[in-house]
Structure 1
Amino acid sequence: MLETRSEPASLPQVDAEALHRMMEEVSIFGGGPGGAMTRLTLSREDKAARDWLANWLKNSGLRLETDPMGNMYGFLDWAGPDAPLVMSGSHLDSQPNGGRFDGAYGVISACAAIDAIRKHVAAAGVTPKANYCIVNWTNEEGARFQPSLLGSGVNASELTLDFALARKDGDGISVRQALDDIGYAGTSGPVIPDALIELHIEGSAELEKKGMRFAVFNRFWGNVKYRLVFIGRQAHTGPTPMAERHDALLAAAYLIAELKGFADQAGIDLHTSCGRLEVYPNSPNVVPGEAVMFIELRSAKPDVLAWAEAQLKEKADLCAKKADVGFEVRSIDRRRAGNMDEGLVALAQDTAAGFGLETLLLDTIGGHDAVSMTAVSPAVVIAVPSVGGVIHHPTEFTTPEDRLLGAEILSAMLWKFCLNGNILKTMD
């Protein structure tokens, strides 16, 4: 064994060797030097990872369904149609040049946890009182298609299917086309579980700083995302006098500095960024005629977000005038702030205590599919440490010991539903 187990013997035993092996197998698809991962949603690399998951589900006796968004659902139907359905999983897509644990670890851990429960039921002769579903959501990252959380957003009816399928990447390929290209456009309907537990790496360093090993995200931030475009006039950088230039990129530079100023003024309650900038024609000796900014404003407080958005509108106009260019807003995406399910938060704390661990309660500033699903189901995100707090980077890493711990706590939480049915009803 690679690690020393700490859980009570009465719980399902997660196979550590299988957990780590599966993680390595999935990491091949889109993996590169130094741990880098580029597995953009609905790409050939994503298809390979999806095929791997589909084979695992079928070989493990789970029923595979895929919906029109390409969301993959592996059902363990063993407790009857009236039993509660408990879902766990995450996403297999990654950021470009990202890490290999963000998302994929949650899918693999769900597989390992359900496998442990199946074997424990068979060995103990227990009659299961809950059905299970392992999920792989489409386009959680929002790297190729915007907005993020597309698959879970459609499943939770926060986005329409037509809207999501019509999203296009930078090459003009739509979600609908990409799904058809890799053969993952399904026909099943929405899946609304009685509970959803998503396991993730923390993505910050709070656990590490406090010397702790387990966290629950009990609150999630909202955001506003703008695709804002400054429109200038393309010209030669040599003969065109400085005073006669209409430089779209200059206006974007002004606004990027202003975004930092918003956060400085608002303090810890606001995060701002321009994480992507598309410049046209993007030639060294051409004054940019267009600069497309992908702007994010994030806060847990609606009034702070409203203030920041008002500031954005005001400063965008001022920056355009300063650079003598025009601007337009091509899209706006919004995600609400809110809280995770209190019953599932309490269940996570109680389960961790059974492992002798204290639970750190955190906000999640980044989005997770469980955030979308809070609109229709009790949902929670649980987390284990990220070394150095690194995420969305090739050096993203969670130790094998902490990966096993997360899978064990997930399995123990799911096991309580197996023994007792929908325990959330008794916690109301």
Structure 2
Amino acid sequence: MKSLKVLISGAGCAGPALAFWLARVGHRVTVVERNTSLRTSGAQIDIRNQGVEIIKRMDLLEKIREKLVYEKGAQFINSAGEVTVTLGTGNQAATSEYEIMRGDLVNILYNETKDHDNVKYIFGETVERYDEKDDKVVVQFSDGSHDSFDLLVGADGQGSHIRSTILPPGSNEYRKLGVYIAYWFIPHIETDTNYFTFYSCPGRRSILRRWHEHSDTQVYCVFKDTCNPDKFDELMKAPVETQKKFWVEKFHDAGWETSRFLAGLDNTTNFYCQEIVQVTTDTWSRGRVVLLGDAAHCPSPMTGLGTTSSLIGAYVLAGELTQNSDDLPLALKRYDETLRPLVNEAQEISSFNLRLMFPQSQWAINARLAALRFLCWLGIPSFLERFANDTSPWKMPHYPALDKDEKS
């Protein structure tokens, strides 16, 4: 195996996961992160399907279990706060067996790689530009320094700068779903249960509540609007206080405990809002540059498969690079061919399901709750959860070279 020198842009989940696998077999890795320190904020995420197998292969199952957020299941409530439907946990359920805060997973992956002889982290810097020369990619960093690498990996999220440098002119890289979300943390009170709680109100609006620790409750406000995309684009560029005011105005009449949730915006230290999109580009690599995770194929939070597909993608990319280290074009071609079917599957969201998630009227909300109650009475959700451990036809590849740390 030829030892590769690899630069990874982005120290979220996907980048350190790739660094883990590459360093294990002797490749030399540099991870550059634009933030001045590890960004450990963020909401609750989950690991599903073959992603659980990946963390087992990384020998991280017990460390992740120690940080899991325990949720009994999911509940749908009405405007009076009364529970109308209760669902359990499961591989394909609204809440999975492997729920974890984003910051905890990022810390685990970082701590597993930061002291490795083959891994170097650089914080507070970005890839300013790069040029491919002969058999190298020469990178200029934002501090003016230069270095050369065998491969540059863009693991810099759904708004990836690296992706913008390899796409053909005029590429349509996003599938817009017309869905917008904000989340923040508020002080926990006794009635905030450890159920993933769903509440819908007229106007295609929903509020979600989750509890991940004794002191904090997570609040998510979500709505669907396909008529005013420009308005929200402008909002994303506005000051945080202007963004908060928008969400107050949007949800002030939503009912349930909304007044308490919105009041929590005044003192929260963890607020974030975004448009929910999917990254659907056909181009994952060009020359010695390749995309990974959300930068390549963000499926959106609507699918619950963003973290899972990123972890699997890191394993597949590392495996193909190791098996074909002397033929990078072949390695990147095999990475695309192997992973693309899983990504296509993960990104499936029908317009019908989107309408079902965001009812327009109270009548439609009541009809959805009645249908869920009827399905639960028939036992269909429980039946499906019991047989959901292998619902994907995509089969996980096995790369024997990644099985053992050759330097240990």
Normalising by the residue count of structure 2, what TM-score does the alignment of the two structures yield?
0.31
Larger Rg: 1
TM-score normalised by length of structure 1: 0.30
